[in-house]
Chains A and B, each alone.
Chain A
Amino acid sequence: GAGVSQTPSNKVTEKGKYVELRCDPISGHTALYWYRQSLGQGPEFLIYFQGTGAADDSGLPNDRFFAVRPEGSVSTLKIQRTERGDSAVYLCASKVGGTGELFFGEGSRLTVL
Chain B
Amino acid sequence: GDSVTQMEGPVTLSEEAFLTINCTYTATGYPSLFWYVQYPGEGLQLLLKATKADDKGSNKGFEATYRKETTSFHLEKGSVQVSDSAVYFCARGPNAGGTSYGKLTFGQGTILTVHP
Contacts and interface: CB of A to CB of B under 8 A. Distances in A.
A105 B43 contact: yes
Contacts, number: 56
A8 B99 CA distance: 31
Contacts of B101: 95, 98-100
B61 interface: no
Interface residues on B, range: 20 to 34
Q: Majority SS of interface residues in chain B?
A: loop
Given A91-B43, A104-B43, A42 B91 contact: yes
Interface stretch (A11-19, A43-51, A64-72, A75-83): A43-51
A40 B89 CA distance: 11
B70 interface: no
Interface in B80-112: 89, 91, 99-109
